[in-house]
Amino acid sequence: MSKTASRIVSEARNLVAFSGAGLSAESGVPTFRDATTGGLWKRHDPTKLASPQGFARDPQLVVEWYAHRRRAIAQAVPNPAHRALAARDDILNITQNVDDLLERAGAQALVRLHGTLAADRCDSGCGYRESIDLADPPSLRSCPRCGDHLRPDVVWFGETLPANVWEAAESACRRCDVLLIIGTSAAVHPAAGLIGLAKASGAQLIVINTQPSEASELADIELLGNASALVPEVLD
Ligand code: OAD
């Protein structure tokens, strides 16, 4: 089965990779809903920590929680799946992940659907944004431009994805002939909708995941196993 997947990938004219937390799991970055490892949302209430309401209610708690996640990401290193994806300059990486492991692996063409923890932005939308050191994350502080709070440059529950980012992802999934879906439960929209869009546009879908997901029924090929083993095999 993975040989067939490798052949399909080698013959692809326009290859897009769509990734989720499972891509970074073997680097030690927790997933969100993983039944086997008790992901983040099994231990924390996302509406309290990853939402505008949660930040408005207790910005200090939210920033401290993200500081903990940022330090964990700083400790993580790209795994063979990140490196295999980054080594292919013909692949556009669309990722739901907010870690910087694909960048650190050297990936150039990247669409970050849910933003990045490697930066903060002004909560008021004045446009101020600055990169931060994941190993030494900032505490709660004010925007130097308008005085409102700075918050992680990620998309929270209830927030819309940046229009330009969504358009880039939609356009890529309409045009690709192979979509490699890696390490995602495909449970969160609108991101997960890109899978159906690629399928409807005629793409072949190859899913790599440790367990069946909401992408399984659309998959032309589903490879169940670890991304760090299967992604290099399929891209080889
Ligand atoms: P999930 O935690 O929902 O799903 C991770 C998937 O990866 C699961 O299906 C696991 O089976 C699989 N997995 C775990 N370890 C793996 C490994 N080593 N190799 C391959 N697969 C593995 O995470 P996402 O699908 O990324 O959104 O979640 C999507 C979004 O929901 C996230 O971007 C985040 C979350 O709320 C926002 O923060 C807006």
Could you tell me which residues come within 8 angstroms of residue 227 by beta carbon, excluding any fewer than 6 positions away? 22, 23, 25, 26, 79, 81, 182, 183, 208
Q: Is 82 a catalytic residue?
A: no
Same domain, 174 and 129: no
Residue range 196-212: mean pLDDT, rounded: 98
Task: Supply the residue whose CA is at minimum distance from atom 26 of ligand 1.
Answer: 20
- Locate the ligand 1 atom nearest the alpha carbon of residue 227 and give its number: 19
Q: With contact defined as beta carbons under 8 Å apart, do 60 and 140 qualify?
A: yes
Does residue 36 have a pLDDT over 80?
A: no
- Among the options 44, 68, 114, 149, which is catalytic? 114
Give 107's pLDDT tier (boundaries 50, 70, 90).
very high
154, 177, 207: which is the final residue of a domain?
154
CATH at residue 23: 3.40.50.1220
Pocket test for ligand 1, best of 185, 206, 230 (most atoms within 8 A of CB): 185
User: How does pLDDT run across 108-166, given as a tens digit for each residue?
Assistant: 999 999 999 999 999 998 999 999 999 999 999 999 999 999 999 999 999 999 999 99
Whole-number Å distance, alpha carbon 38 to ligand 1 midpoint, is 11
126, 154, 182: which is the final residue of a domain?
154
Same domain, 108 and 89: yes
This prediction's pTM: 0.96
Same domain, 8 and 45: no
Residue range 41-58: mean pLDDT, rounded: 90
CA dist., res. 41 & res. 30, Å (int): 10
Q: With contact defined as beta carbons under 8 Å apart, do 101 and 110 qualify?
A: no
Same domain, 173 and 224: yes
Same domain, 45 and 145: yes
Same domain, 228 and 148: no
Same domain, 191 and 232: yes
Report the percentage of the chain scoring pLDDT > 90. Answer: 90
Residue 38's pLDDT is what? 67
Residues with beta carbon inside 6 Å of ligand 1? 20-22, 25-26, 31-34, 39, 46, 50, 96, 114, 155, 183-185, 187-188, 209-211, 213, 226-227
Could you tell me which residues come within 8 angstroms of residue 98 by beta carbon, excluding any fewer than 6 positions away? 112, 114, 115, 116, 117, 152, 154
- Domain, as residue range, for 122: 30-75+117-154
Same domain, 190 and 169: yes
- Angle (CA) 62 67 68, round 5°: 100
Same domain, 18 and 42: no
User: How does pLDDT run across 158-174, given as a tens digit for each residue?
Assistant: 999 999 999 999 999 99
Task: Supply the residue whose CA is at minimum distance from atom 6 of ligand 1.
Answer: 184
Pocket test for ligand 1, best of 98, 114, 184, 222 (most atoms within 8 A of CB): 184
CA end-to-end distance (rounded Å), the chain: 14
Whole-number Å distance, alpha carbon 154 to ligand 1 midpoint, is 16
